[in-house]
Homo-oligomer: A and B are copies of this chain.
Amino acid sequence: MSIPDMLWSGWGDPERAAHLPDSVTDLLRELLGVREEPDQPVKLAEIEPPAPRLSARILADVVGDEHVRTDDETRIRHTRGKSTPDLLRIRAGDARTAPDAVVLPGSHDEVAELLARCSRHRIAVVPFGGGTSVVGGLTPETGGFAGMIALDLRRLDRLLCVDSVSRTATLQAGLRAPRAEELLNEQGFTLGHFPQSFEWASIGGFAATRSSGQASAGYGRFDEMVVALTLATPRGTLEVGRSPRSAAGPDLRQLVLGSEGAFGVITDVTVRVRPLPETRAHEGWLFRSFSEGTSAIRALAQDGPLPTVLRLSDETETMIGLARPSELGGPKSGGCLAICGYDGAPAEVAQRRAKVRALLRSRGGEFLGDEPGENWAEGRFSAPYLRDALLDAGVLAETLETAGFWSNLPRLYDAVRLTLTHELPSSVVMCHVSHVYPAGASLYFTVVTAQGDDPLARWQRAKAAVSDAIIEAGGTISHHHGVGVDHRDWFVREAGPLGVEVLRAVKHRLDPEGILNPGVLIPPAG
């Protein structure tokens, strides 16, 4: 396997683990009332996944012996995703949901054949890209099945073609984002998709979960980039997308996007690409309040021009960020930090930047220079490392997100904050807007709290309450993390009974035995 393994008990490259200075640890403990001794993960070698329930023979026939793994370590590394609850469980040595085997197909046809066989033998299948789900997307309910395999797509790692006239590229699903960027960059293009999971996530995962990247203001969401895709299902292959747009019936691409492995396995996607930008710049702005800042970025979203990156932290997130004054060129007295990023040709960027600056100034923004922007850009993928360090220090950190229409955003923001602070006293709740649309925006919350005696139960209670609050306040249960198992009960409320029936009908047609990620997205049938 040419792709490095992610830290089994946490995020990313073990060499890049974050270390909290004692002063920060002390501060957090003081602030959050952390009393626990540091909570260290068990040793990998000490974890014993359950005995495999299935013979790998029928799968090895398809992909070859060397591409079926049943060793404990590989199974543990494919157990669950990277939500904080996932980490709490695996750090405690709980590998009860480990797949019986990890299978690595090398082609679309092998995927299709594996699905047909698994369907015949009632073996549950978890499509596995980067393994970065934070919503239980890799933890299906496999009761009643003969076994469960993780279908690791890392061998589907090629850039299949670039159409430089149409500015599209066809990428295999298992391609990791950094490698995809590298291959496209070599031909002068970029995808421009940089979610926080960028360094580990896969192209197929982006499509299956409707990922949205930090530069979505400029490049769009991943689901907006996709113009065609191929889906392997137990009942055959679905190929959709003959044209960027069409009036030939419902848009089947939009039925596959967001299907989270429950309808089939996406094996390749054709996406819109753009010329590699000549320059990339970031800058910081300060607003007096979240509502002033929100109104300013709404003006950009509705009347333009849009920066490539646009995010606005609330007062708390700004304050926590300011605990490191070096990042912001000196302490400020409150307010809300906004980051604007600009990709493009120098002249175009200069023009756009000037217009954005004029608008933000007219809306009360104070220009902070490039440094806060460049600092943000430098650390943009590192937050998950910090979470591991916090977990080690007895602190629980987790994120959740929603989106809604602009007019409803204040209500949604209040509902989430009030619920979290009620459920988790002595916690820090921070928020930012990081994805904007003409009609609305996302809200992304980070919660930091003491782990307490039973951090998992504590978090799950709070998470359920806040999910209720989101649905009751008219928000969507996820703007870009997805549904998985964790959000399913609320997604059911969001989609309504008839919406769920429609999705179940689609699933039943494509996956009549229900082997694909059972319980992910929609409740198992019956």
Binding site for B on A (CB under 8 A): 163, 165-168, 209-212, 221, 223, 227, 233, 235-240, 242-260, 272, 298, 302, 402-408, 435, 437-440, 474-483, 487, 491, 494-499, 501-506, 508-510, 521-522
Contact = CB atoms under 8 A, between A and B. Distances in A.
Contacts of A212: 245, 247
A247 B481 contact: yes
B243 A210 contact: no
9 contacts: A165-B405, A167-B438, A223-B251, A245-B479, A246-B476, A248-B483, A248-B491, A250-B503, A251-B258
A257 B250 contact: yes
Number of copies: 2
B254 A210 contact: no
Chain B CB within 10 Å, residue with most, of A223, A242, A494: A242
Contacts of A440: 166, 227, 243-245
Contacts of A245: 212, 221, 223, 403, 435, 437, 440, 479
A243 B479 contact: yes
A292 to B, nearest CB: 15
B249 A439 contact: no
Given A243-B402, A252-B499, A272-B439, 4 more contacts: A242-B404, A242-B474, A248-B476, A505-B508
A252 B166 CA distance: 28
A250 B246 contact: no
B255 A250 contact: yes
A165 B259 contact: no
Contacts of A404: 242-243
A503 B510 CA distance: 11
Chain B CB within 10 Å, residue with most, of A210, A405, A505, A521: A405
Contacts of A272: 438-439
A360 to B, nearest CB: 18
